[in-house]
Amino acid sequence: MEVDALAGGRIVSLSIGNIEMLTPASVHAENYGSTFWDAPQVNWNWPPRAALDSEPYSVGLDNGVLTLESKVDPSGLQFVKQFRTDPTRGCFEIEYRIKNSGTNTLNVGPWEVTRVPGGLSFFPYEEVPGLPATALQPVTRSEGICWYAFDATFLNPGCKLFSGAKEGWLAHVVPERCLFVKTFQDTSPADYAPEQGEVEIWGHDGGIYIELENHGPYRALEPSASLNYRVQWYLVRVPEHITIKAENPELVSFVRTLIRGN
């Protein structure tokens, strides 16, 4: 894993062997790597808040924990990102902190946005009424799992999936048989940020990348208050005997064993 403090504290590389899992800046000059936003998007529309998404963060390193801290955005928000390894579980642990450094109460939720090349994405889903409509294709749902098998021909223009989720994980496997899994707190639908799901997948125009997005609870932050959102990242190779295809229960079992057996 590589993190760039000068580019919004983004994670800019996650690789196993010579396989890179994150979309580089050479594919899209602004939208690359993995970033962190405040939800809902209607609070800031586009582009993202520069002080939090793309401008330099300060850097600290103590006892193996890398801490990055943003400047205070004009909204009053400030982000802290902490990175550590967990050798016991074989994962990276990332803790995001949203601080209200302003003078007004702010309503926000945590939102991790990770850009990756197309592959097969899947997660345990929950039917939640009232979410924005899903336009992403082709999406299938079977045995409690939502599957998205990337197909660039459906991404002119780009489109998105919005979903409820269960179990607190989102997986993505590329044709090179590398599996990326994010785990996070499972959020109740009552705590979703407005116009957002717990899990979202965005397929960018032309299919040049997709975004794996996970949301935490939406909260009111009083001045000087903060909220934390912790995730774990796993990156492993899929055993050769497991076929990489949608609706394969072996893939689901492999992920569950990976995240629960460590």
Q: What is the pLDDT of residues 198-220, one digit of tens each?
A: 999 999 999 999 999 999 999 99
State both tokens at 117: 């090349």
DSSP string, 128-165: -TTPPPP--SSEEEETTEEEEE--GGG-SS-EEEEEEE
Percentage with pLDDT > 90 across the chain: 99
d(CA 151, CA 251): 20
Q: What is the residue range of 71's domain?
A: 2-260
State the average pLDDT for the chain. Answer: 98
- Is the confidence at residue 262, as pLDDT, over 70? no
pLDDT computed for residue 135 by the predictor: 98
| DSSP, res 103 | S
Give the pLDDT score at 11.
Answer: 99
- For the domain that residue 139 is a member of, what is the CATH number? 2.70.98.10
**C-alpha 48, offset from chain centre:** 15
pLDDT band at 84 (very low <50, low <70, confident <90, very high): very high
Q: What percent of the chain has pLDDT over 70?
A: 100
Overall size of the chain counted in residues? 262
Convert 213-222 to b/e letters by CB count within 10 Å (16 or more is b).
Answer: bbbbbbbebe
Other C-beta atoms within 10 Å of 261: how many?
8
Phi–psi pair at 8, nearest 5 degrees = 70, 20
Buried b (16+ CB within 10 A) or exposed e, 38-47: bbbeebbeee
Does pLDDT of 158 surpass 80?
A: yes
Express each pLDDT in 4-62 by its tens digit.
999 999 999 999 999 999 999 999 999 999 999 999 999 999 999 999 999 999 999 99
Q: What is the pairing mode between strands 226-237 and 178-184?
A: antiparallel
If you average pLDDT over residues 142-166, what whole number do you get? 98
Residue type, 56: P
How many domains is the chain partitioned into structurally? 1
Does position 191 have pLDDT exceeding 70, yes or no? yes
